[in-house]
Structure 1
Amino acid sequence: MNLKISSADDNTTTVESFYLKKQNRLRKLMVSGLNKQTDVFAIDSMPLEICSLSREQRNKTGKESAHHSPDKGYCASQKKYFYGYKSHSVCSVSGVIEPFDLTKAGCT
């Protein structure tokens, strides 16, 4: 196991990445153990509103890179437009949340 602590100029540290990988591996093992007998899952998404549409131009949250920046989206169940992200998750019938993902609000 080769752990390297990077310099202050480096944006990503190897140690942080190592612990994030360990944490994700542990979470996946726990979920697979709890959902061993499950064949039925529910998939859903929900809006994560960053700010109101009127403040979209002044908002600076998440705009460091164009790939990860928030976007405009529409939530049909709430019948409204919003500015932010969407959370997509998979849940078993027993209530255990499988892996989830965040996407721009405009992605379908």
Structure 2
Amino acid sequence: MNAKRKVRLRIAGADYLIATEESESYVIALGQELDNRVEELMRENPHVSTTGALVLIALDLCDEAKRSVETSDHLRTQLQEYLADAAKARNEADELKRERDRLQREVQFLRAKFPPEK
């Protein structure tokens, strides 16, 4: 387990001290992204308070996260189906190879038993 580190962020004019196991640069980048989103939302909607902006952004981020989970679940299901199809195709190919080998042996046996006339 990684050691927790403390990272200081400034978001929407307020300072936050975050305890995290993530790298400082990663947490700072997240904080800057959030701060930028708050500034942009408040610039486009001057009547929205800082708290309101943060709530709207939180809702948007929750929506993005939920949709990402749904997408990844869907992709995981598709991948499992593709893997099952590939396994089935591999089994069918193996079965066809065994049948081909059996037929080749039968042809060799019949040729040996009934050689072609010259």
Q: How does the TM-score come out when normalised to structure 1? A: 0.29
Which structure carries more strand by proportion?
1
Structure having greater relative contact order (Cα 8 Å, sep ≥ 6): 1
Which structure carries more helix by proportion?
2
